[in-house]
């Protein structure tokens, strides 16, 4: 089979580009220096490939990702880098044979984890992104409470997600340094061996900051948003669509909102200019005349939510489909 044989919209991974991305990152952050974030791909086959280049620890965004990796036997140290007070899900993770650590940023999340039988945590620290995370000056008190409840406090984590797309690299480096100073301030109070941070956009900006591991994920597949950051990773993921209608100066492909993550803007079409997307349609201006039935290549702006909308990804090498990988970590 080739991509031309696939029902569309179809999620396709260029095997050669994917493998080069993994090799590039493994050379920059070998072994435990990288804790790959599976939220970017939600696929045990991809995680297994990351393990194959030396990474045995993984970051997860959902309990489903933690449980799925553990039951697939991928990784020996799994971090839920997210807060949850769902005791049922916490108990399921606590019963896994694989070591599981959860992020906590409040008394409530600590108590929920302890009551469910979780043994390990990282104190999640707000380093500038108004999302999860305890204030740096309160991190020590929360760590004390966690230890009082019987949890091993392994250290701290903080995500400088607000800095991933800062265009100027010098400014990005400076602001990352300031965010990591907050994380180290918290770490001084919390203790532990782990200082976990970062993502694809800042993967190489933590030298001298005290960070022990980086939680990058999108690097493996990439998207057009990260593609503007001059990172050493290639676009390994695209969607194959079919032209289903042709107008006067425009064409429509069957790759719409329900096949794409749109929070970072429109996708790109190879050989055309995207006008807009609707539920099941992508309207674009082709560079040259196209006909109904032709295939188009669509590049997503944000890989994580795009992959999460699909059941399978097709691995392609040299124009031939060589494997079918289930996106088997979808859901919560």
CB count in 10 Å sphere of residue 268: 20
pLDDT the model gives residue 200? 98
Structure tokens at 230: 């001059």
Angle at 19 between CA 206 and CA 172, to 5 degrees: 25
Look at residues 267, 249, 251 and name the one whose alpha carbon lies nearest to residue 259. Answer: 267
pLDDT the model gives residue 24? 98
Domain covering 15-220 in this structure, CATH number: 3.20.20.10
pLDDT the model gives residue 32? 97
pLDDT the model gives residue 162? 96
Structure tokens at 305: 């939510």
Quote the pTM value: 0.96
**What pLDDT, in 10s, does the model give residues 117-131?**
999 999 999 999 999
The residues of the chain that CATH labels 2.40.37.20 are: 3-11+232-326
pLDDT lower than 50: segments of the chain: none
Asked if 322 and 9 count as a contact pair (C-beta separation under 8 A), the reply is: no
CB count in 10 Å sphere of residue 110: 26
pLDDT the model gives residue 89? 98
pLDDT the model gives residue 243? 98
pLDDT the model gives residue 323? 98
- Topology adopted by domain 3-11+232-326: Lyase, Ornithine Decarboxylase; Chain A, domain 1 (2.40.37)
The residues of the chain that CATH labels 3.20.20.10 are: 15-220
Q: How much of the chain exceeds pLDDT 70, in percent?
A: 100
pLDDT the model gives residue 66? 98
Q: What region does 42 belong to: left with phi over 0, alpha with psi -120 to 50, or beta?
A: left
Q: Is the sign of the CA dihedral 199, 201, 204, 208 positive or negative?
A: negative
């Amino acid at each position: 089979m080739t991509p031309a044989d696939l029902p569309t919209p179809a999620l396709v991974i260029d095997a050669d580009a994917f493998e080069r991305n993994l090799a590039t990152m493994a050379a920059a952050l070998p072994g435990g220096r990288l804790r790959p974030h599976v939220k970017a791909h939600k696929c045990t086959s991809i995680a297994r490939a990351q393990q194959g280049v030396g990474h045995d620890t993984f970051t997860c965004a959902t309990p489903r990702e933690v449980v799925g990796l553990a039951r697939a036997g991928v990784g020996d140290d799994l971090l839920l880098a997210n807060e949850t007070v769902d005791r049922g899900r916490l108990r399921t993770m606590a019963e896994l044979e694989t070591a599981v650590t959860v992020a906590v940023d409040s008394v409530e999340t600590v108590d929920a984890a302890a009551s469910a039988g979780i043994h390990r945590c990282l104190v999640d620290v707000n380093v500038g992104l108004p999302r999860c995370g305890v204030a740096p000056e309160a991190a020590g008190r929360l760590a004390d409470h966690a230890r009082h409840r019987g949890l091993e406090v392994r250290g701290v984590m903080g995500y400088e997600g607000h800095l991933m797309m800062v265009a100027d690299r010098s400014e990005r480096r400076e602001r990352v340094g300031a965010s990591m100073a907050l994380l180290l301030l918290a770490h001084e109070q919390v203790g532990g061996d782990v200082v976990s941070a970062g993502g694809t956009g800042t993967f190489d900006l933590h030298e001298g900051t005290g960070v022990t591991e980086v939680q990058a994920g999108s690097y493996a597949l990439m998207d057009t948003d990260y593609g503007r950051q001059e990172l050493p990773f290639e676009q390994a993921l695209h969607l194959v669509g079919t032209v289903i209608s042709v107008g006067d100066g425009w064409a429509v492909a069957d790759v719409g909102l329900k096949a794409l993550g749109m929070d970072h803007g429109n996708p790109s079409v190879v050989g055309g200019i995207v006008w807009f997307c609707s539920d099941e349609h992508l309207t674009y201006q082709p560079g040259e005349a196209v006909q109904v039935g032709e295939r188009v290549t669509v590049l997503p702006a944000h890989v994580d939510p795009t992959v999460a909308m699909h059941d399978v990804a097709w691995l392609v090498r040299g124009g031939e489909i060589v494997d079918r990988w289930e996106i088997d970590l979808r859901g919560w």
